[in-house]
Amino acid sequence: MNGPIISPSILSADFAKLGEEVRAVSEAGADWIHLDVMDGHFVPNLTFGPAVIKALRPHSAKPFDVHLMIAPADPYLAAFAEAGADAISVHVEAGPHIHRSLQAIRDLGKRAGIALNPGTPASAIEPLLDLVDLVLVMTVNPGFGGQSFIPSTLETIRRIRAMSAGRDIDIEVDGGIGPETVAEAARAGANAFVAGNAVFKGGPAGYAERIAAIRAGA
């Protein structure tokens, strides 16, 4: 398997200068850029949509890892693809026709991701494995950066790693990931790591060092 993938979440970046922030983490060693889209309905917070992602696209050549915390998602998938998303993850809890959403993402030529909340069992995504390139395991309840890693999600990661054996599927963890938690997530089977606070807190001078520390722990 290839090395760990580090995907800094710009939710913890300085929103007054997002272009510069995306450029800075890209140069500091990020593998992907994680973009958290929230609708104030599926999750209790609001962030940004396709227009902001489109504006950020010229600032980085790294894959854009778009995490949709919106319901419904289907009416917006094409807009996120056109804005420059490389991978689009939708939540299994976000609607009754998630199978269709994943097919739609692939039909748009993008990598399809399925995300699941800490309270959702691994078995909920088992019927979808043929349709996904990425499983995004939430290791906090989605909505905010800076929360503590929930240890019960380690068992979910282990189950998904076992059920996806032999398939080319990335297992990405999101929430409370930093140098202290990355090792146990990696041991459980994750190979991609979202980090918001652990990268951005403290400012741009430390981005390279903090990304390297997360990578070293994985």
Residue among 146 and 151 whose Cβ is closer to ligand DX5 = 146
The beta strand positions in the chain, using DSSP E, are 5-8, 33-38, 64-69, 87-91, 111-116, 134-138, 170-174, 192-195
CA 187/CA 169 separation, integer angstroms: 16
**Of residues 175-204, which lie at the interface with ligand DX5 (CB under 6 A)?**
175-177, 194-198
CB of 169 to ligand DX5, least distance (A): 19
Q: Which pair of tokens denotes residue 92?
A: 């299994």
Which one of 4, 12, 94, 159 is in contact with ligand DX5 (CB under 6 A)? 12
Residue among 85 and 109 whose Cβ is closer to ligand DX5 = 85
Annotated binding residue 34: yes
CA 98/CA 103 separation, integer angstroms: 9
CB of 194 to ligand DX5, least distance (A): 5
22 binds ligand DX5 (CB under 6 A): no
Residue 163 phi/psi, 5° resolution? -75, -20
Binding partner selected for residue 13 from ligand DX5, Zn ion, none, CB under the kind-specific 5 to 8 Å limit? none
Annotated binding residue 175: yes
**Total residue length of the chain:** 218
172 binds ligand DX5 (CB under 6 A): no
- Closest alpha carbon to 91 in 36, 53, 159: 36
29 binds ligand DX5 (CB under 6 A): no
Q: Tell me the residue nearest to ligand DX5 as measured from the CB.
A: 196
142 binds ligand DX5 (CB under 6 A): yes
Instruction: Tell me the H-state helices in 38-97.
Output: 50-56, 77-83
Q: Helix (H, G, I), strand (E, B), or coil: what is residue 111?
A: strand
Residue among 160 and 194 whose Cβ is closer to ligand DX5 = 194
Q: Where is the binding site, in residues?
A: 9, 34, 36, 67, 143-146, 174-176
